Structure 1
Amino acid sequence: MDKTEKFKNRHKFKDRTVRIPINCRGVSASEVIDKIETACGINSVLACVSRNEKYEVTLSSSTVSDILIEKGLEFDEESVRCCYVVNKQNVVSIMSLPYYIEDEEITERFEKWGVKIEGEIRERIDRLTGRADGTRIMNVHSHPALVFYHSPLDSQPPTDMNISTLNIMNKVRYALFA
């Protein structure tokens, strides 16, 4: 692969760019690259840029970025946690869901869409009554092209947009759990 082909689709690299919170004045970019390539393999770093007292490092694959996020790095015997530049998780709420639907069924339906649920599915409990109100909340990891709609219907007067969003949400809910 030549250089022009390697950097042809730069917009795809954002999901494998990590932020390393270390002092840029105390640690050089070449030291950061050496540490990462020792931990993850030769040629695993595509770019290393200092930004706002942190380094942003673009890696050769999402597997390498996952390893770096999981393990972290060590500078001067101090452990440094890395984080993604792009948030890969979304919080999803499913409202007005019947109480009898099991979490496993929700997980199965989301997996059919290519959405992975991270952690446990939580039920929202009404503060006054102490009972479930039909809302399930979960952290999900999904493909960037998959969009989840949100509409704060309670806080806004009814408009065509709110009604349309409500109809979309109902269609999604019924498509998922009909």
Structure 2
Amino acid sequence: MPPWGGGLGWSVLRRNRIAAGVIVAAGASLVLSACMSPTPAPTPTPTTTSAAPTATPTPTTPAVPVLKPGLSADENLAYFDMVNNAVIAANANAGGRDFVDALVAGGFDKAAMQVTPDRTAVDLQADSIQWSVLFNSECLVGQYGPASGGYHGIVADPTGQGACLLGETRPIDW
């Protein structure tokens, strides 16, 4: 008989201890199995965002070229071309004087210009004409006519004599 008493008390106490051990063992087993099981990845919760409406880009109109006297001929070629193309748009049969007058009206120096004749030595319409402006030590040169395939504008170096066109040019005396 145990020291605390005998009989029925002992078996109840023993049963309670066994039950407590089973419960503790079961709890430990659950805890250990939870540690060993992979934790399910959290399921992402869909979110909604309300973004401000984005502005649709509007096409920008390219800037209209302007004469920039302090800049290089290269930086003024777009303006030179614009003036010359406007002459052609207004008159598909434009001659040298039309281009010279338009360039003077556009701000170029008439004294710095050269132009080839509109007519050949046998008085036929020239297949193409050329004109130029000596501009800040460079040449803006235009060419137009059926033999040249339409209008072309370039920047070129002046000749050794400081002219832009070689060959016969006509006086700009108007």
Q: Relative contact order (alpha carbons < 8 A, sep ≥ 6): 1 or 2 greater?
A: 1
Which structure shows the bigger proportion of residues in strand conformation?
1
- TM-score, with length taken from structure 2: 0.21
Which of the pair has more CA radius of gyration? 2
